[in-house]
Amino acid sequence: MASVRRYLRVPRELMPSEIFKQESQSPGKIVIQIILLQMFYYLTAAVLFYGWATLCGYDINLKQWLFTWQDIDFSNSFGISLSALWLIDSLICVFFLTVIVGRSKLAWDFAITIHAINLVVVWTHTGLFPSLAWFVLQFLSTLILVFLGTWFTRWRELKDTFFEGMVDTESVSAPSSQPASQPLTGNIELRDLEAQK
């Protein structure tokens, strides 16, 4: 049994933890991040479409809704609902962009890459150039992903860089003789950032 496990193991250099430790400009890491983001983009949309179709009583046609542009129309409720679900998908993908990419200066690139790949997929699947309504929807979706993705990744970078270790927890800890129901009377001491340089 031990010999079979040895063959089932993923090589160390192909493990996700090793790939994400590589430098940010590594082609292997960038390709894996693009694949993961695109996969989560379509998977999240499929889950949203499935739930919406089930609740509203529509026949589920995920392939049509994901990979074509014909149903995106702002003149009927079906097209508006589908457009709203794509925008919600972009809001959810901000989380994936923050976790997978994690760098604010790369958020723009990955957000635009997701939508460029989506354009190529839709164009090749339908064989027709998408409509203006589809492009407006993709533009709004790109704006959501670019600006919120940049904001959240920047917040994550700043939180890790500037705010970690600022609170001195030794002066805050309660003595063992003080009951837990009584409020803490100790002061919180902030460390001086200038002294840390």
pLDDT digits (tens, 9 = 90+) for 41-63: 999 999 999 999 999 888 888 88
Closest C-alpha to 133, from 83, 85, 64, 67? 83
Cβ atoms of 33 and 101 within 8 Å: the answer is: yes
- pTM score, two decimals? 0.69
Residue 82 scores a pLDDT above 60: yes
CA–CA separation, 41 vs 44, rounded Å?
6
Residue 157 scores a pLDDT above 90: no
Lowest-confidence segment of 93-97, 122-126, 164-168, 169-173 by average pLDDT: 169-173
- Using pLDDT thresholds of 50, 70 and 90, give the confidence band for residue 7: low
Contacts for 116-125: CB closer than 8 Å, 24+ residues apart:
117/34, 117/38, 118/38, 118/41, 121/67, 122/67, 122/68, 122/69, 125/67, 125/68
**What's the Cα-to-Cα distance from 77 to each of 82, 85, 136, 185, rounded to whole Å?**
8, 12, 17, 59
